Structure 1
Amino acid sequence: MTEPSHVTAARESYDTVAADYARLVKEPAELDPVSRAMLATFAELVRPPHPGPVADLGCGPGKVTAHLAALGVPVFGVDVSPRMVELARTAYPELRFAVGSMTALDIGSGELGGILAYYATHHTPPQWLPTVFAEFHRTLAPGGVLMLAGHVGDDEHLRPTHAYGGHPVSYEWYLLPPDRIAELLHGAGLVVTARTVQEPEEGARRQTGTFLAYKPR
């Protein structure tokens, strides 16, 4: 299958900005209290004896992957950017990281006890989100838990030209209303159990949304 153009753009862009992204992005301990609490809640839901490993999809340089591991989660990371995966493997050699795309995961059906998609889907055009969410549903075991977090908006389509460290990028941003994201998750067969919408932090411009959902047994 031909790779979707948005996946190619994300790979090339994040390969370009990887080193500066790893340097500039916040450590999980530096996140706001609500974000830290949602990650802790997710960790509680997917820790053993909950069955199956947990995939951190769009793991970037592995900071959140390592944070979940420290909370007792049997987690591994997947990212579309080979350079990001290289940085993650160097920083956290005790953890497993692989290159992959959320549109076609190299993970068996029903294999995962949990999925974290943390600021990982906002470069995905809305017409591709059903494919991505269907992959989440396919790879989750019955009872498996998804945490999806990221920027939300009023059907905004942004075309940034430069990012972390001033590097040129070719990806685009698609910021959907929280209700629309919840509808798409439901359409993929996932049951949303909780969601939060946070106003922008000081110096930021966009709301963020976090969703907890599960695959029915």
Structure 2
Amino acid sequence: MPAGVDKTSAAAGISSVDASAHLERLKQEVRGGNSSRPAAARAETPRDARSDAEARWSVAVDRPIVRRPGIRGTLVYPVKRVLRKLMSWYVGPFAAEQRSFNAALLRLTDQLSSENDGLRAALAHELEDRRSGHDELQAGLEGRIESEAAARESQTAELEAALNERRRLLAEIEERMLRLERRRQESGPATVAVQPGANAIPDYFAFESRMRGDTAEIRERQRAYVGDFRDSGPVLDLGCGKGEFVALLVEAGVKVRGVDADADMVAYARGEGLEVEQGDALATLESLEDGSLGGVFAAQLLEHLPPPALVRLLELAAAKLRPGGVLVAETINPLSPLALRNYFADLTHAQPLVPETLELLARQAGFTTVEKRFLNEPEERLTVPADPVLAANVSRLNELLFAPLDYAIVARR
């Protein structure tokens, strides 16, 4: 093609397509696109569709005419030029209006897209606020529920403690009333204990009920010793109190009797149908034949005795037991700070007994084997942390501060 023709065509804005093809393309663009595009190409994102519309919005009729090779192309080329000039006056205004429409449509699309983005951002912000408010509300409700639950648990614990205290007081009152009813039928001194300070407390029965616990509690604590006497009858319970251990051995089918210096204790135990008599522990042992007992039990008695009486009681117990007989003597554990409180609360106590001291005295009294048992650990203890160094120290503190409240020696002939 001559260079002059190309330049003239480009300057004149003449299209290279024929009129029918140009009109068909315009119709398809007005309808909304090319239906022959594959499905994969039609599945566009909004951003892709906007970019495609931006590229196609300008509809023009002044495209360059392509001259085909050969005689046919030479003959058709002038005809196309003439036809384009003839059609331009008709198609040009239509294309201009289409471009204006396309531009307006793009502006509307941009506006709608912007508003849509704003609505999306506002919705996201609203959702975030709702989530934040929901989380705060949930956290507040959970905290309130936990606080309310903790308060209810605390109130429940206080009520249970108050109820247990009322039950204990009721049991104490019942025991003291029974003591008064049964004591009227008895006559004699309030106590026959010979050790100094034995009558330091005017009403020792009431003192024991308050400080040591009721009959049911003591019975449960002493139940652990029943197995030591199953084949050791007859058994003598020294300082038997209200007869708790005597009743346990009777239930186990073991022959047993008790002795206590306090007249109220004896009256109460006899009212339970138990074989109990008032008497001094040493005098009672001295009155028995040697080797006549299978077992001797003394719970919370030895700490009441001064050293000479304590040594004498151990010697008499060893003498009155037959070979293989057993002595079980329970006393307060002075290695426990909590137990020392109980020791000093009782004005009739003579001295605390360190476990090793009592064990040595028992061996010197004639017992061949002596076993120490620690009992009645406190319920409260320090929580052991996970750190191994701190855990070792806390465990040691638990051993020192919350040691068992009592211990017993189990000595055999």
| TM-score, structure 2 as length reference | 0.41
Q: Which runs of 5+ in 2 are unaligned?
A: 1-192, 381-401
CA deviation map 1:56-106 (0-9, x unaligned): 111001111101111121010111112211111012x2x311112222223
Shift, 1:4, TM fit = 4.0
* 1:209 counterpart SS class: strand
CA distance in 2, matches of 1:109, 1:14: 35
Structure-1 separation of matches of 2:226 and 2:195: 34
SS in 2 for 1:174: coil
Please give the per-residue CA displacement for 1:132-189, whole angstroms capped at 9, x wherever unaligned.
11121122122211111111326x8x654xx6xxxxxx41242111111010000110
* Paired positions, count: 190
What amino acid sits opposite 1:71 in the alignment?
A: A
Please say if residues 150 and 210 of structure 1, whose CA atoms lie closer than 8 Å, have aligned partners that are also in contact.
yes
What is the DSSP-based 3-state SS (H/G/I as helix, E as strand, rest coil) of the residue aligned with 2:408?
A: strand
Identity %: 28
Partner in structure 2 of residue 213 of structure 1: 411
Q: Are positions 1:146 and 2:146 aligned together?
A: no
Give the equivalent residue in structure 1 for 2:214: 25
Q: TM-score, normalised by structure 1?
A: 0.74
- Give, in whole Å, the separation in 2 of the partners of 1:82 and 1:98: 9
Q: Which amino acid aligns with 1:18?
A: F
* Contact 1:104/1:135 (<8 A) preserved: no
Counterpart residue number, 1:99: 278
Structure 1: stretches of 5+ with no match in the other structure: 47-51, 164-169
| Structure 1 residue corresponding to 2:226, chosen from 3, 26, 40 | 40
Q: Residue in 1 aligned with 2:39?
A: none
Structure 2 CA distance, aligned partners of 1:56 and 1:150?
Answer: 14
Could you say which structure has the greater relative contact order, defined with CA pairs below 8 angstroms and 6 or more residues apart?
1
CA distance in 1, matches of 2:318, 2:201: 26
Distance 1:29 1:67, change over 3 A: same
Q: Which amino acid aligns with 2:406?
A: T
Residues 213 and 199 of structure 1: CA distance in aligned 2, closer, same or farther (over 3 Å): same
Amino acid in the other structure paired with 2:195: S
Matched residue, 1:66: 247
Q: Where do 4+ consecutive residues of structure 1 move more than 6 Å?
A: 203-206
> Residue 180 of structure 1 aligns to which amino acid in structure 2?
T
Secondary structure of the residue aligned to 1:146 is: strand
SS at match of 1:60: coil
Q: Is the 8 A contact 2:333 2:354 kept in 1?
A: yes
Let me know the Cα RMSD of the aligned residues: 2.8
- Structure with the higher strand share, 1 or 2: 1
